[in-house]
Amino acid sequence: MKKTLIGTLVGGLILFFWQFLSWSLLNVHGAETAYTPNQEKIMAFLSENIEEGSYMLPTVAPGATEEEFNQLNESSMGKPWAQISYHNSRDMNMGMNLLRGLVIDFLAIFLLCWILLKMARLDFSTALLSSLAVGAIAYLTIPYLNHIWFEGNTMGYIVDLFAQWGLVGVWLGWWLPR
């Protein structure tokens, strides 16, 4: 149990600090938060025209027929489209968000340690490659799948895959087989 707890605590901190660096100082995810000089006009327009929620534009109204759906798909091909997540108020609680992120990181590394310690012959390379595999699964099933459908930029997540899960794999590969 000591191996799991220490592995989880250090691994969770590695994950947490990489994520902090990735989203702040290193700006690895800068392409996902691009600036527009029209932001004031856009926000004013949105606040007057939509309620809080997530939107896909264009889309059909609730209860639309299959014919209406097909007609919208045909008429919107080659035209602009957007995804919008609109909130009425920016009430970010940085402390609570950081705490929740840290708890999730500890949980993720705990689950990875649990998997790794079930392996009969765990060694450094198995821990490293398994950690990278977990990172690849996370990348493929969320950011990359969203990229397939919504054409977002996933380069930051690829960097995260190799950096954070590689660092965690190096740590766990050194610590757990001991």
- Classify the C-alpha dihedral 140-137-162-92 as positive or negative: positive
- 15-50 exposure pattern, b = at least 16 Cβ within 10 A, e = fewer: bbebbeebbeeeebbeeeeeeeeeeeeeeeeeeeee
Domain spans of the chain, in order of start: 2-35+92-175
| Strand (E) or helix (H) holding 35 | none
Average pLDDT rounded to a whole number, residues 116-145: 97
- The per-residue pLDDT for range 42-96, each reduced to its tens digit, is 999 999 999 999 999 999 999 999 999 999 999 999 999 999 999 999 988 899 9
pTM score, two decimals?
Answer: 0.86
| Pair of tokens at residue 80 | 């602009």
